[in-house]
Structure 1
Amino acid sequence: MNKALVIIDIQNDYFKEGKCELVCSKEASLNAQALLNAFRIKKLPIIHIQHVNIRKGATFFMPNTQGVEIHKNVAPNSNETVIKKHYPNSFLETNLEDVLESLKVKELVICGMMSHMCVDSTVRAAFDKGYVCEVAHDACATKDLTFSDKVVSANEVHHAFMAGLNYLFAKVKSTHELLPLI
């Protein structure tokens, strides 16, 4: 059974001086880079997901900006698939499922940004479609959120969403734990 790496939305706007900086985006991107390099060495399928925001009132990932570009730490090679999306779920109105089927992939290693939004939505959709998922928790990043007049730290948000995915929807592991399994 083929295994593929899916890197979600590691784009410039999520980094320092971007329009929506996340907590620990650089560290997460470097862990994603380690996974990317391992998949390249093994010549396993790699899919980059790039969010292009077309929603009215959107403030980041705007078309034709530097912020929408995939970050240099995980920049795709010319032979790697890049799928553009407009929603948190990487399967929604994209050809991701068709690409995975053509590659005969049933196992996914997923990483990216944001933990609470696009990573969560994509992992749950992948599970619903029958894929076996592993999530590299330290190759994901998020931001502080506010709910009911309380600020929830990025660390708490990240851990809550990783805990929610672990067990049923995915096996959530560190990059260090995943690298020997590639």
Structure 2
Amino acid sequence: MNRALIVIDVQNEYFTGSLPIAHPPREESLAAILRAMDAAGRNGVPVVVVRHTAPESSPLFARGSHGWELRGEVAGRRYRHLVDKAKASAFHETGLRDLLAGLGVDTLAVAGYMTQNCDESTARDAFHLGFAVEFLSDATGTVPLANAAGSRTAEEVHESVLVVMQSNFAAVTTTDRWIEAVEARLPIPRPSIWESTAVARDTPAT
């Protein structure tokens, strides 16, 4: 097992810009992200920071804008690589797969924003590329959503993604538990679609 920590889009847009993270509270999730980065550094786990970059005319994450810049606490910490992306997944046309392969990484821990968008997309791609994935439940976060399909609070969005991730794609864990596993050099139990579908299988068809 050779871990890396990927810190996705911890940028000012999610704190002082147009998309303030609502759940978990952004200052709490930021504190968890920083704890994970510090623990990774102490234990030789490479940290890859990802930054979402949009054209200068974009209303969000416009290149060169204050919202596009990394949060200072993240920018000021040590990390191995900075990856710029233009789509939700950190693997899309970024060279991240080759970068991780060069580091010998087989297990990728996901932290950052937003839970259901860039975090989930990256985690799913990592799973399909053969990585074991760890998803830090309190070091990720999101905003409320409302559109033609309906509406959900930030908490509902976040918790739903965690359940889906744990069902098949990633081992969902708290930051503190992840740090314990990193320090002990132990894996976190993998998800099981069989276990997660037990309730459905036990419900008689009507």
Instruction: Give the TM-score category using the shorter length.
Output: over 0.9
Distance 1:173 1:101, change over 3 A: same
Query: In the TM superposition, what is the alpha-carbon distance from 1:148 to its structure 2 partner?
Result: 3.8
Query: In the TM superposition, what is the alpha-carbon distance from 1:22 to its structure 2 partner?
Result: 1.4
Q: 1:130-161, CA deviations, whole angstroms, 9 ceiling, x for partnerless residues? A: 00000001001100001347431000000011
Aligned to 1:13: 13
Distance 1:79 1:151, change over 3 A: closer
Say yes or no: does 1:58 pair with 2:58: yes
Query: In the TM superposition, what is the alpha-carbon distance from 1:58 to its structure 2 partner?
Result: 3.0
Say yes or no: does 1:31 pair with 2:43: no
* Gap runs ≥5 in structure 2: 183-206
Identical pairs, percent: 29
State how far apart, in whole Å, the 2-side matches of 1:83 and 1:162 are. 25
Greater strand share, 1 or 2? 1
* Gap runs ≥5 in structure 1: none
Aligned to 1:127: 127
Instruction: Tell whether the 8 Å contact from 1:38 to 1:179 is kept in structure 2 after alignment.
Output: yes
Instruction: Tell whether the 8 Å contact from 1:106 to 1:132 is kept in structure 2 after alignment.
Output: yes
Instruction: Tell whether the 8 Å contact from 2:46 to 2:79 is kept in structure 1 after alignment.
Output: no
User: Which residue identity does 2:87 align to in structure 1?
Assistant: Y
State how far apart, in whole Å, the 1-side matches of 2:77 and 2:150 are. 42
Number of aligned residue pairs: give it. Answer: 180
Instruction: Tell whether the 8 Å contact from 1:4 to 1:108 is kept in structure 2 after alignment.
Output: yes
Larger radius of gyration between Structure 1 and Structure 2: 2
Query: In the TM superposition, what is the alpha-carbon distance from 1:80 to its structure 2 partner?
Result: 2.1
State how far apart, in whole Å, the 1-side matches of 2:175 and 2:10 are. 16
Aligned to 1:41: 42
Q: 1:84-110, CA deviations, whole angstroms, 9 ceiling, x for partnerless residues? A: 000001100001001100000000111
TM-score w.r.t. the length of structure 2 is 0.83
Deviates more, 1:101-110 or 1:140-149: 140-149
Query: In the TM superposition, what is the alpha-carbon distance from 1:78 to its structure 2 partner?
Result: 5.8
Deviates more, 1:157-166 or 1:146-155: 146-155
Instruction: Tell whether the 8 Å contact from 1:3 to 1:109 is kept in structure 2 after alignment.
Output: yes
RMSD, aligned α-carbons: 1.6
